[in-house]
Amino acid sequence: MSGLGLLWTVHHYSGSFATAGIVVGAFAFGEALLGPRAARAMDRYGQTRILPLLVAVHAIALALLVVGVARIAPVAGLCVAAVLAGGSIPQSGSLSAVRWAYVLADPDLLVTAFSLEAVANDVAFLVGPAVVVAIGALTWPVLGTVIAAALVLGGGVGLALQNSSAPPPAPRIAEGQLRACDSGVRCLFSRGFVALLVVNVALGALFGTLQVAVSATVVDHHAVALGGVVYAVMSVTSLISGLVYGSIRRPWPPRRVLLVVSAYLVVATGLLQVTTGMVALAVGLGLIGVAVAPLLVVSAVLTEQVVPAGALTQAFAWLGSASAAGLATAAAGAGAAIQAHGTSAGFLTATTAAVTMVLAAIAGRHHLSPSPHDAHRRTAGTP
């Protein structure tokens, strides 16, 4: 909602989608670049200490950005404010995931919690953009940005006030320094976490490719009005699969689920290359959506297993940045491929992303298990 609301706001005052795209790109760049660093600060000092500061910086930067847009400030100045606003937006998904991992000691309950998170995300992606677009088109475009900011700030303050579920800061040694494994990103670069990074880059690439390829397909079929409905099918099936996966008994270990779901996505994306109409496209996207929530859930569970507790917030933030990078890069690549070879080339790019997930899951299968020294590292908080 934040990026889309900002897009409408900038376009309303500038009259240029090019300028709006540059500013929104700067916002996303700031989030991808600075988000993991803010997460590292939360690992080191605790969420309840850093979140209020982060929320305040985000509110100020966003206010400066909106005022600058309204006064037709230079694009360079708008981009600086956008980078600060994006970089200071609380990474709610990462913060929430870390809290679940701290509160719940039972692995099955943790999977259920992550499934509920995935369902909540699907609902947000279904409802949020529709609300922003409707508000931007029918009322005052800036109102979309205001509503998104209110939700972000309200959620950030709400998390800051939840002391009972907040994990403690990373432990320190006598010299006042963090333990070696909690001192920076180097503790994240185990083979297991690198495999998860690659999986998330590929998943972002899959989403970015589908956005472009589906848009191109509906244009080719002169069915632009159906584009949002067709794409929403994937979110609906992901929502359903998230509810089901979170409620059933799971006999397979997460690393096997990761491999099986990735292989399933290879087949599901391959079917899109032979779709011939809007109904077939909707069915194909629905089949892909079935795999999305379980994939996100096992990725979160495996991250919780292979990353030290003192670096868990930044680990989730890095996964989010990896997905964003994959989405942005693949969207550009898919656009070029479609321009040169047609929409089927875009769907082939999606299949390539799914194959990459399979390869990463195979390469990291022996390293995606709990670290022996970290198996009992967490003490459950208040349930």
Residue 234 lies inside a defined structural domain of this protein:
yes
161 and 245 in a single domain? The answer is no
329 and 349 in a single domain? The answer is yes
pLDDT tens column, 99-125: 988 888 787 888 888 888 888 877 887
Residue 383 is predicted with a pLDDT of 39
43 and 132 in a single domain? The answer is yes
237 and 160 in a single domain? The answer is no
Give me the helices (H) in the chain, please: 2-14, 17-45, 47-70, 75-87, 92-103, 107-138, 142-161, 191-220, 227-247, 254-272, 278-306, 312-341, 343-363
132 and 250 in a single domain? The answer is no
pLDDT above 70 coverage of the chain, percent: 87
Residue 283 lies inside a defined structural domain of this protein:
yes
Residue 175 lies inside a defined structural domain of this protein:
no
Q: Which of 76-80, 179-183, 219-223 has the lowest mean pLDDT?
A: 179-183
225 and 158 in a single domain? The answer is no
Rounded Cα–Cα distance for residues 253 and 250 (Å): 8
pLDDT tens column, 257-306: 999 999 999 999 999 888 778 888 889 999 999 999 899 889 988 988 88
Residue 39 lies inside a defined structural domain of this protein:
yes
Give the range with max mean pLDDT: 252-256, 359-363, 377-381.
Answer: 359-363
Contact 38, 87 (CB under 8 A): yes
From 104, 135, 170, give the residue that closes a domain.
170
Residue 376 lies inside a defined structural domain of this protein:
no
Mean pLDDT of the chain: 82
pLDDT confidence band for 39 (50 / 70 / 90): confident
- Residue 177 scores a pLDDT above 50: no
Residue 373 lies inside a defined structural domain of this protein:
no
- Residue 222 scores a pLDDT above 80: no
From 135, 170, 205, give the residue that closes a domain.
170
337 and 232 in a single domain? The answer is yes
Name residue, tokens 């259920």: 112
pLDDT tens column, 40-56: 888 888 888 999 999 99
Structural domain span for residue 71: 2-170
Shortest CA distance to 182 belongs to which of 168, 194, 197, 170?
A: 170
Give the range with max mean pLDDT: 158-162, 205-209, 340-344.
Answer: 158-162
206 and 108 in a single domain? The answer is no
Check which CATH number belongs to the domain holding 314 and give it. Answer: 1.20.1250.20
Cβ burial, residue 205 (10 Å; 0-12/13-18/19+): buried
- Phi then psi for residue 191, to 5 deg, are -65, -35
Residue 378 lies inside a defined structural domain of this protein:
no
From 148, 170, 192, give the residue that closes a domain.
170
**Which residues contact residue 139 at a Cβ distance below 8 angstroms, ignoring those fewer than 6 apart?**
none
Rounded Cα–Cα distance for residues 115 and 200 (Å): 17
18 and 41 in a single domain? The answer is yes
156 and 230 in a single domain? The answer is no
pLDDT confidence band for 171 (50 / 70 / 90): low
Contact 185, 318 (CB under 8 A): yes
Contact 261, 290 (CB under 8 A): no
142 and 228 in a single domain? The answer is no
Rounded Cα–Cα distance for residues 159 and 252 (Å): 33
Tokens at 104, concatenated = 């719940």
Tokens at 48, concatenated = 């309840």
Residue 352 is predicted with a pLDDT of 93
pTM assigned to the model: 0.73
Higher-scoring residue by pLDDT: 40, 377 = 40
116 and 236 in a single domain? The answer is no
pLDDT confidence band for 227 (50 / 70 / 90): low
Rounded Cα–Cα distance for residues 161 and 255 (Å): 35
Instruction: Give the mean model confidence (pLDDT) for residues 216-225.
Output: 74
pLDDT above 90 coverage of the chain, percent: 23
Q: What angle do helix axes 2-14 and 17-45 make, rounded to 10 degrees? A: 140
Residue 106 lies inside a defined structural domain of this protein:
yes
Instruction: Give the mean model confidence (pLDDT) for residues 91-102.
Output: 86
- Phi then psi for residue 83, to 5 deg, are -65, -45
Number of domains present in the structure of the chain: 2
Higher-scoring residue by pLDDT: 318, 382 = 318
